[in-house]
Amino acid sequence: MAQQAYMTETDSGGSGPERRGDRFRRLLGRWLAGWRGDRRIWRRGIVTAAVAVLLALVMLLHSRIPNAIGNLGSLTETFLPWLGLFVPLLLVIGLVRKSATALIAMVLPAVVWLNLFGGLLTDKTASGGDLTIATHNVNADNPDPAGTARDVAASEADVVALEELTATAVPVYEKALAATYKYHSVQGTVGLWSKYPLSGVKAVDIKLGWTRAMRAAVTTPSGEVAVYVAHLPSVRVKMEAGFTARQRDKSADALGEAIAHEKLPRSVLLGDLNGTMNDRALNAVTSQMRSTQGAAGSGFGFSWPASFPMARIDQILVKGIEPVTSWTLPETGSDHLPVAARVKVDTTAS
């Protein structure tokens, strides 16, 4: 009799996951019934739908946003991937408002964002390659330059570029990196350290009045490569002036011209460009070189600020060379993250 009572109680009430599942289905049914019985689902959420359409247009036509007023176009393009955060927000608003119009409109920015950045979400890294390269803005106010140098050397990169070097910190970096890198050159506030011989070293004029860019030929086992190191001027967001980037843009044009006149067929650009690959102001450079992160990375590879990376402004760009993999290195004493890549210099090898 006791066993029969137990079976009856279990069969009639249910417990655990089954009961929770039934409760969820009942709640979902009531919610959907509310939608079916409400003819206002098409009239509600018009403003949310309009915002969704506007968001899609901003992402789709970002190159048409003028720079004439506060460089608004470049500012938008710098943080363009983050506009995707508005998509789930619009989805939640549409669901709460029970607006079919808003939910349908929300599809537009979602599709545009995936078209622009969906490829970066896939892992494109591969094995192989014959040269590892790295770059790091070490920060002029770095409290531990020796530790930063050791961290960069631990990446096992064959070629390392450093930017924002100060006169007092250069000897510290030279001493810390001497055991790993036999060859090096410092030009102004940028430097290049290499396991392979350097030749044709010279400063590159990027129209600043002082040296923040250089060029050298690195003789790797797979052939000679022209390596450029650059630190383009900083940009600022000011209330009265907007996105101030005029000097950065001028320097980018000068750097692009120098790279365009490079005689070696294989070249690499390492440095802090203070701009992303989406920023039209860097077209003089980005139009003729490939990003290793875009071609062989996994994710966006944001490098700045180090405490909470929001943009990839530290770049490794290549021409005549095949990217194999790209990644960011752990945080150092700088406000930037180091970035590294493995590339194939000898593209004729199987």
Q: Structural domain boundaries of the chain? A: 38-121, 131-344
On the CB side of 288, CA atoms within 13 Å amount to 17
> What sign does the dihedral 298-177-144-235 (CA atoms) show?
negative
Residues in CB range of 241: below 8 A, 6 or more apart: 70
Q: What's residue 5's pLDDT?
A: 47
Chain position carrying tokens 């400063």? 203
Say yes or no to pLDDT of 48 above 70: yes
pLDDT at 29: 58
Distance CA 72, CA 65 (A): 7
Of 120, 109, 121, 119, nearest in space to 60 by CA:
109
Write phi, then psi, for 83 (nearest 5 degrees): -65, -20
Based on the number of CB atoms within 10 Å of its own CB, is 128 exposed (0-12), middle (13-18) or buried (19 or more)? exposed
Grade residue 15 by pLDDT with cuts at 50, 70 and 90: low
Percentage of the residues of the chain whose pLDDT score is greater than 70: 86
Tell me what the mean pLDDT of segment 309-337 comes to: 97
Among 18-22, 182-186, 254-258, the minimum mean pLDDT is found in 18-22
Confidence of residue 7 (pLDDT cuts 50, 70, 90): very low
pLDDT at 18 over 90: no
CA distance linking residue 201 with residue 54, whole number of Å: 49
Looking at residue 240, its pLDDT comes to: 45
**Average pLDDT of 186-208?**
98
* Strand intervals (E) in 138-266: 159-163, 183-187, 190-194, 198-203, 213-220, 223-231, 236-238, 242-244
**H helices of the chain, where?**
2-13, 16-36, 46-60, 72-78, 86-97, 100-117, 145-153, 170-177, 246-260, 283-286, 292-296
Cα–Cα distance between 304 and 306 in angstroms, integer? 5
Q: Per the structure block, which two tokens stand in for 161?
A: 């570029």
Q: What is the pLDDT of residue 74?
A: 86
Adjacency order of strands within the sheet including 183-187:
183-187, 190-194, 159-163, 131-137, 339-344, 322-328
Reported as a pLDDT band with limits 50, 70 and 90, residue 164 is very high
pLDDT of residue 243: 55
Q: Residue 223 has what pLDDT?
A: 96
Say what angle helices 86-97 and 46-60 make with each other, to 10 degrees: 160
Q: Which two tokens stand for residue 241?
A: 């002036």
Show the tokens assigned to 124. 């494109």
Q: Are 124 and 298 in contact (CB under 8 A)?
A: yes
Q: Rounded to an integer, what distance in angstroms lies between the CA atom of residue 203 and that of residue 216? A: 9
Residue 36 pLDDT > 60, yes or no? no
pLDDT for the residue 39: 61
Is 3.30.565.10 the CATH classification of the domain at 131-344?
no
3 state DSSP class of 123? strand
Tell me the sheet residues that pair with 187: 190
State how far the Cα of 111 lies from the Cα of 91, in Å rounded to an integer. Answer: 13
- pLDDT for position 9: 44
User: Quick check: 242 pLDDT over 60?
Assistant: no
Query: Token match 């920023």: residue?
Result: 279
Q: List Cα–Cα distances, 305 to 145, 170, 301, in angstroms.
A: 18, 23, 12
